[in-house]
Structure 1
Amino acid sequence: MDLMKNVANTSHLRSAFCQEGGGYLKRANPTNLTDIFNKYASVDKNGEKFMSPEDFIIKYLGLFDGSNYNKESVKLLAAIVNTSKTGLISYTEFQAFEGLLCFPDALYKTAFQLFDTNGNGVVSYNEFVEVMRKTELHRRIPFNMDSPFIELYFGKDRKRLINYAEFSQFLHDFHEEYAIEGFRRADKSGSGFISVMDFQDIMISIKSHLLTKQVASHLIEAASHNQSGSRVSFPYFIAFNSLLNNMELVKRIYLNVTNGNRTQEVTKEEFMHSAQLISQLTPFEVDILYNLCDVLHQTGKIVYNDLNAIAPEHYFKQITRSITKLSAVSSPEDRGIFVQILESAYRFTLGSVAGAVGATAVYPIDLVKTRMQNQRSGSLVGELMYRNSWDCFKKVIRHEGALGLYRGLVPQLMGVAPEKAIKLTVNDFVRDKFYDKKGNIAWYGEVIAGGCAGGSQVIFTNPLEIVKIRLQVAGEIAGGHKVRAWPVVKELGLFGLYKGASACLLRDVPFSAIYFPVYAHTKAGLADENGYNHPLTLLLAGAIAGVPAASLVTPADVIKTRLQVVARAGQTTYSGLWDAAKKINKEEGFRAFWKGAVARVFRSSPQFGVTLLTYELLQRLFYIDFGGTRPTGSEQKVPVGIVAGQPVKNPNHIGGYEAAIPIFSGIETKFGLCLPKFQVPNTS
């Protein structure tokens, strides 16, 4: 990826760490910083505490192994913070560095301070050479410091000083020049070709930060496949690197072709047409892209996950998933049973709270829906009690008070926890079985997973719904005695609690089979270009998915309601699913199967929207890493303090300092400026 574009992305760091209101993290207050500084500062000088380089780099940031580290590297990195260049970090410098991390160009500023060893605000030729010669990169492939490129920036006499703005451009250009220098060294005959082995060595030595494990392990195969031989030309070398530098642009081109769909396969011709319209990606680069994808997956077409396999994760992770999962270990089964139980309890708790919030928010609509469905119409069943849903709502308020709208809420809430827990768990479990090697899932896999989820919940929902429904309709009988849940349970008995279960299955299986796939695709469609969903889009996705799911299964819901309600004197009774369907159609007509459809949509749609919004927000706010599969949607827009996919373990990384480790890591992963981590053995 182009370095300037990468650094522009550090604006996310500012929004994530330095917003004074409404951000993910606010800047650390001075009191917290003072306490943390004093905790790690081991040097007392003239009554003032200071951090040594080891205190900051090893103890606080934890970048190197404290038992075996390269002292020169530690000093160089600590000098980024120690702007006075005294060798010790004062509290003022510690505090000032937090401010630096909040700048949108923090990565370049940090790199500049690494090279500004004198702390005078400019970088000289000698300072640049001093730092570069200590890097692992220069040790592997020495750069010609007398090259015309160096002369253009530092002058023929190497006396020109470079300020920060010029240095940022220099560092970008130097990185690209380094790769060309590596090619020149390998092309000893000046033929414009190098061997595939030299190509692999240059890419791994100089451009390793642009390589994923998949690409790194297939470099020779990819080069041989495209160049049709054992040599790599200079144009191929430049095009290959240009492609890796511009993978974010490649992703945008793909999404432009598919209108945001991340699973649609795209041919080379389709991609080329879009590339020529919105970018300067060359046909050669497109050829390399498709050849590389073919080497990795051998399909001849590309999907979004192919591009993720080529583009590496950067110094802070940019989440691009919509329905995929983030796993903290290679396999969840690697964890102990106790940890898995804790994780289940954690998810169960979040699902309970989310379900309770969603159910409570729309419960009055659910009560109206139930009474409308239970109302018998036609010449054989007497006078109508309610003209429509609005009339039902007004009469409940008038005769039973506002609390009448919440009759049966308690058993409903009792059922929400196990229902949501088992539904979400089964859906995720079955979906996992249908994912292919590319991380995609076919539509029928989504439908089957949703259907299994809906079927699994009936064991919990049917008993509680039958109790809820009988409590909801109890208020219709004028002067009737107050009905409570426990007497209803005792009256029904174990088998009675599952009366209407067949209709419940007929409703819940297709509902979930429709809902979960529609929600997944709607959520993906509403996500931003990085695959992230804001709370409003989560709510909207859940609500939209509920419309077709709730409306299309209304007939089954009507039948279930009739089977579970106690018929009053003169009302028709039903012996089963088919009997109820025939009698309703005969006595009330086909339209009776759609009673309460509007109320059902207005209840189910917002309920699931609120439930899933609450569930995903709770996961973002209270996420605990149990090392297993992370539930969909639990990620932050910019996960903080992550290096190489691992969360920062130091709880004292607060405020802007959450960005410290990703920024330090970024100096290596973006510029290839890897300082040696361990001591070089003294052989003298």
Structure 2
Amino acid sequence: MAILFEVTVRPLAHLQFLAGGLSGFIEIICFHPLDVVKTRMQIQGTRALHGEVVYSCPLDAFVNIYRYEGLSSLWKGIVPPICVETPKRGGKFLMYEYFKPYFHFGAPQPTPLTHAVSGSVAGILESFLVNPFEVVKITQQSHREKHLRTLSVVKYIIKHDGYGIKGLYRGITALVARNAVFHFGFFGFYNAIKDIVPSPENSTYDLLRKVIIAGLASSLACVMSVTLDMAKCRIQGPQPVKGEVKYRWTINTIRTTFREEGFRALFKGLGALILRAGPGGAMLLVTYEYLFEFLKSKYI
């Protein structure tokens, strides 16, 4: 029995990791420009600093980045996500599948709460792997004048701020909170809605059903977590005043933003976030499911 279990589980784990990694890579390449737009909008204040353009909406940010910085600027900071997101997404789906049996809460089969809690735990664990790459990525994305080389940014951060909570792990508490809330909503809503909406016999319509549900689930999860995402970007990005740390901790960042810029500022970047995470999340989750089933049929 032990030998049979080992032979069965190991190939599934490898296939889950591979399917998650490939789906993550495809999603990053397609939707990274919207991540740049989201970051720019979240770190800007209400007034322009040093003559910088203040973006009024995602489309305005997209147009102005292209106009003043060139097409390639829309892929600023893509190296860190490609380096970490591909294996990270594979690891996330692997952990998500691994934790599901532990969160049935007495139910014979996985419930939407099972998927929500499993996704949340997987999201929390991945935060500790991805945080240094997020700091580097946001530093690159926020720099408007030129393209910063990834290794140069890494060396600069380590030299001046170190590896810890002031350096490469700056904003880790905000990232953990953001990931916990987002993945709870994403996996929970997706599986809850998918169970309610009947599956059509036609495979094309079934694919469309899953894409729409995944996009809706991702958008709802964005609304739940956007304030934490805004705080994360402000903590991890360049501070408004050079030499002064204005944004250090999650709750204080949210309070300061609300006090100085009002309630709407807590949802900065939501439009770009939904544009990116809605179709991006749909592509990620549905691609993972179909790739995993395809790989299972080929190799199991």
Q: TM-score range by the shorter chain?
A: 0.7 to 0.9
Select 2:93's aligned residue among 424, 439, 462.
424
The 5-angstrom pairing of residues 191-590 of structure 1 reads: 334-336=4-6, 340-377=9-46, 385-435=54-104, 439-474=108-143, 476-477=144-145, 480=146, 482-493=147-158, 494-495=163-164, 496-528=167-199, 534-569=206-241, 573-590=246-263
* Structure 1 CA distance for aligned equivalents of residues 17 and 114 of structure 2: 24
Q: Deviations over 1:232-260 (max 9, x none)?
A: xxxxxxxxxxxxxxxxxxxxxxxxxxxxx
* Structure 2 CA distance for aligned equivalents of residues 382 and 587 of structure 1: 20
Instruction: Name the TM-score, length of structure 1 as normaliser.
Output: 0.40
Q: Cα gap change, 1:544/1:534 in structure 2, threshold over 3 Å: closer, same or farther?
A: same
Query: C-alpha displacement at 1:381, in angstroms?
Result: 9.7
* Structure 1 CA distance for aligned equivalents of residues 261 and 47 of structure 2: 5
Query: C-alpha displacement at 1:341, in angstroms?
Result: 4.4
The 5-angstrom pairing of residues 48-67 of structure 1 reads: none
Identical columns (%): 26
* Structure 2 CA distance for aligned equivalents of residues 554 and 344 of structure 1: 32
The 5-angstrom pairing of residues 629-640 of structure 1 reads: none
Query: C-alpha displacement at 1:409, in angstroms?
Result: 1.4
Q: Cα gap change, 1:464/1:333 in structure 2, threshold over 3 Å: closer, same or farther?
A: farther
Paired AA for residue 607 in structure 1: G
* Structure 2 CA distance for aligned equivalents of residues 558 and 381 of structure 1: 22
* Secondary structure of the corresponding residue to residue 558 of structure 1: helix
Query: C-alpha displacement at 1:500, in angstroms?
Result: 0.2
Paired AA for residue 492 in structure 1: I
- In structure 2, runs of 5+ residues without a counterpart are none
- In structure 1, runs of 5+ residues without a counterpart are 1-330, 628-684
> Residue in 2 aligned with 1:598?
271
CA contact (8 A) 2:200 2:206 kept: no
Query: C-alpha displacement at 1:334, in angstroms?
Result: 3.4
* Structure 2 CA distance for aligned equivalents of residues 333 and 510 of structure 1: 38
Q: Cα gap change, 1:526/1:443 in structure 2, threshold over 3 Å: closer, same or farther?
A: closer
Query: C-alpha displacement at 1:380, in angstroms?
Result: 9.7
Instruction: Name the TM-score, length of structure 2 as normaliser.
Output: 0.86
* Structure 2 CA distance for aligned equivalents of residues 334 and 419 of structure 1: 28
CA contact (8 A) 2:112 2:189 kept: no
Q: Deviations over 1:150-204 (max 9, x none)?
A: xxxxxxxxxxxxxxxxxxxxxxxxxxxxxxxxxxxxxxxxxxxxxxxxxxxxxxx
Paired AA for residue 554 in structure 1: V
Paired AA for residue 88 in structure 2: E
The 5-angstrom pairing of residues 163-178 of structure 1 reads: none
Paired AA for residue 487 in structure 1: S
Q: Rg: which structure is higher?
A: 1
> Residue in 2 aligned with 1:608?
281
* Structure 1 CA distance for aligned equivalents of residues 10 and 239 of structure 2: 44
Q: Cα gap change, 1:497/1:353 in structure 2, threshold over 3 Å: closer, same or farther?
A: same
* Secondary structure of the corresponding residue to residue 622 of structure 1: helix
* Structure 2 CA distance for aligned equivalents of residues 512 and 367 of structure 1: 21
* Structure 2 CA distance for aligned equivalents of residues 473 and 605 of structure 1: 23
* Structure 2 CA distance for aligned equivalents of residues 578 and 360 of structure 1: 32
Query: C-alpha displacement at 1:460, in angstroms?
Result: 2.3
Q: Deviations over 1:450-476 (max 9, x none)?
A: 2212211102221221111111111x2
